[in-house]
């Protein structure tokens, strides 16, 4: 927390200089997330200030939207249907790119702080962050597949939409906390901040949070990819040793 306060103070000092537009100055409580064996999710505090040259403009207040996106991968969404009395996967839609994690936090109701056109241009809301071009011609309701993807991932907190989660004070300082769940994949998490007025994006800023496995996790992961045969033999050796040890221990108890 002291670090957060000093960050804010620096930001405030920066704001006093002669400047020419409304821009974002950003701070993160950490720009690196280390996945250790005991990793159980992580909270990242995102805070910043709006720097501007003149007095706060008239009209609707400034709103802030913060998004954090994990690495994107192509996916297949399948749907089951009843065939000959049993439920089987029948239809499948390929999603070109979907982030493994995506959080949107806003300072007000998303529909009010962001116009649809702007959402389309900057791909801010959860459905817009997923890119899906065209489904096979035999599937007429491709949207329901994207909806299902969002529903499934939202249930495990991988996709989040938190309205009113960003606090804005004096139209200048803002802060929010993003909760990264325990089931996190490695990669660069792109963090974007948008300033909007009357639903229009007036400024944006992006940075990345580096999510990486460290220590034992890193070592095992790299061994399994780099030396798979060695890794496999090691797994079996551990299994055999554990089996033998348990048997030996029990024999001691019986003796």
Partner 1 sequence: MQIYLPIAEVSVNAFLLLGLGGIVGILSGMFGVGGGFLMTPLLFMIGIPPAVAVATEANQIVASSFSGVLAHLKRKTVDLRMGTVLLIGGLIGAALGVVVFNYLKAQGQVDLLVKLCYVIFLGVIGGLMFVESLNAIRKTKSGKPPARKKHNWIHGLPFKMRFRVSGLYISVIPPLLVGVAVGILAAIMGVGGGFIMVPAMIYLLGMPTKVVVGTSLFQIIFVTGFTTLLHATTNFTVDIVLAVLLLVGGVIGAQIGTRIGVKMKAEQLRILLALMVLAVCGKLALDLLLMPSELYSVGAATGH
Q: Is 80 in the site for partner 1 (CB under 8 A)?
A: yes
Does 85 sit near partner 1 (CB under 8 A)?
Answer: yes
When asked if residue 183 is in the footprint of partner 1 (CB under 8 A), the reply is: yes
- 24 vs 35, beta carbon nearer partner 1: 35
Least Å distance, CB 213 to partner 1, is 6
Q: Is 61 in the site for partner 1 (CB under 8 A)?
A: no
Residue 94 interacts with partner 1 (CB under 8 A): yes or no: yes
Is 145 a binding residue for partner 1 by CB under 8 A? The answer is: yes
**DSSP SS3 for 92:** strand
Does residue 76 contact residue 94 with C-beta atoms inside 8 Å?
Answer: yes
244 forms part of the interface with partner 1 (CB under 8 A):
yes
Judged on CB neighbours under 10 Å (0-12, 13-18, 19+), 225 is: exposed
Q: Does 120 bind partner 1 (CB under 8 A)?
A: no
Q: Out of 32, 41, 206, 210, which residue is the one contacting partner 1 (CB under 8 A)?
A: 41
Q: Give the H or E element holding residue 229.
A: helix 228-254
**Joined tokens for residue 133:** 């071009």
Decide: is 54 part of the binding site for partner 1 (CB under 8 A). Answer: no
Question: How near is the Cβ of 84 to partner 1 at its closest, in Å?
Answer: 10
Quote the least distance from Cβ 179 to partner 1, whole Å.
Answer: 13
**C-alpha to C-alpha distances, 242 to 39, 209, 216, 250, nearest whole angstrom:** 25, 39, 20, 12
247 counts as binding partner 1 under rule CB under 8 A:
yes
Nearer CB in complex with partner 1: 6/36 = 36
The token pair that represents 43 in the structure block: 């909270």
Site size for partner 1 (CB under 8 A): 64
Non-local CB neighbours of 119 within 8 Å, separated by 6+ positions: 125, 128
Show contacts with partner 1 in window 20-39 (CB under 8 A).
35-39
Q: What is the rounded CA–CA span in Å between residue 61 and residue 171? A: 7
Work out how close the CB of 251 gets to partner 1 at its nearest, in angstroms, rounded to a whole number: 8
| Distances, alpha carbon 141 to alpha carbons 74, 135, 146, in Å | 19, 9, 10
**Does the footprint of partner 1 cover residue 89 (CB under 8 A)?**
yes
1-6: which pairs have CB atoms within 8 A and are 24 or more residues apart? 3/29, 4/29, 4/45, 4/47
Is residue 236 involved in binding partner 1 (CB under 8 A)? yes
Give the C-alpha separation, 89 to 82, whole Å. 9
- Supply the minimum distance, in Å, between the C-beta of residue 188 and partner 1: 16
Q: Residue 88 CA to chain centroid, in angstroms?
A: 32
How far is Cα 226 from Cα 228, in angstroms, rounded to an integer?
6
Residues that bind partner 1 (CB under 8 A): 35-41, 73-82, 85-89, 92, 94-95, 145, 148-149, 151-153, 156, 182-186, 213, 216-218, 220-221, 224-225, 228-229, 231-236, 238-240, 242-247, 250-251
């Amino acid at each position: 927390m002291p670090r957060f306060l000093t960050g804010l103070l620096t930001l405030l000092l920066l704001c006093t200089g002669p400047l020419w537009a409304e821009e974002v100055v950003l701070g993160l409580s950490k720009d690196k997330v280390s996945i250790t064996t005991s990793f159980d999710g992580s909270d990242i505090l995102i805070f910043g200030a709006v720097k501007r040259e003149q007095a706060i403009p008239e009209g609707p207040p400034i709103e802030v939207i913060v998004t954090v996106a994990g690495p994107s991968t192509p996916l297949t969404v399948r749907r089951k249907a009843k065939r000959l009395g049993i439920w089987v996967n029948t239809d499948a839609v390929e999603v070109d790119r979907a982030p493994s994690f995506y959080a949107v936090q806003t300072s007000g109701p998303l529909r009010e702080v962001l116009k649809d056109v702007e959402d389309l241009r900057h791909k801010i809301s959860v459905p817009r962050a997923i890119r899906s071009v065209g489904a096979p011609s035999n599937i007429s309701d491709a949207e329901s597949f994207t909806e299902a993807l969002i529903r499934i991932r939202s249930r495990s907190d991988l996709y989040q939409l938190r309205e009113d989660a960003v606090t804005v004070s004096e139209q200048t300082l803002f802060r929010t906390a993003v909760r990264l769940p325990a089931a996190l994949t490695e990669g660069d998490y792109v963090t974007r901040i948008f300033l909007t007025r009357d639903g229009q994006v007036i400024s944006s800023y992006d940075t990345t949070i580096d999510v990486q496995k460290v220590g034992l996790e890193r070592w095992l992961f790299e061994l399994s990819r780099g030396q798979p045969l060695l890794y496999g033999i090691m797994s079996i050796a551990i299994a055999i040793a554990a089996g033998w040890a348990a048997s030996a221990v029990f024999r001691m108890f019986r003796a």
